[in-house]
Amino acid sequence: MKIGILVNEGPFNHQASDSAYQFTKAAIEKGHQVLRVFFYYDGVNNANKLAEPQSDDRNVSKRWTELAKQHRIDLVVCIAAALRRGIKEDILADGFRISGLGQLIEIGIAADRTVVFGD
């Protein structure tokens, strides 16, 4: 099954980000193809490489980067949502890229299912 993922919440204020990551990882392990993870609204904060979690906390952007690299997942950050939150190309973690809402529409068309995490 081809799956698209939409992440609408940031990594440190809502469970949705962790749930999206765990779901993506589990879907891949079950043999599904994750076509793209699209970060929208506060979800764009998952891509911020300047975040420095404590040593005993998870590094969200690093987890996404490693998963994307290992499984060739397209990690797309909404440009409008990113700019509203001060996130520009130079502070994106490796593996993330900025693009527009057309990428979300495209995944909705190409995927068998699009799963949304967060409001």
Six token digits for residue 22: 């765990």
Q: Are 47 and 75 in contact (CB under 8 A)?
A: yes
Q: Which residues are known catalytic residues?
A: 78
Torsion angle defined by CA atoms of residues 108, 113, 118 and 119, in that order, rounded to the nearest 10 degrees: 60
Cα-only R_g, the chain: 13
DSSP 69-90: HHHT-EEEEEHHHHHHTT--GG
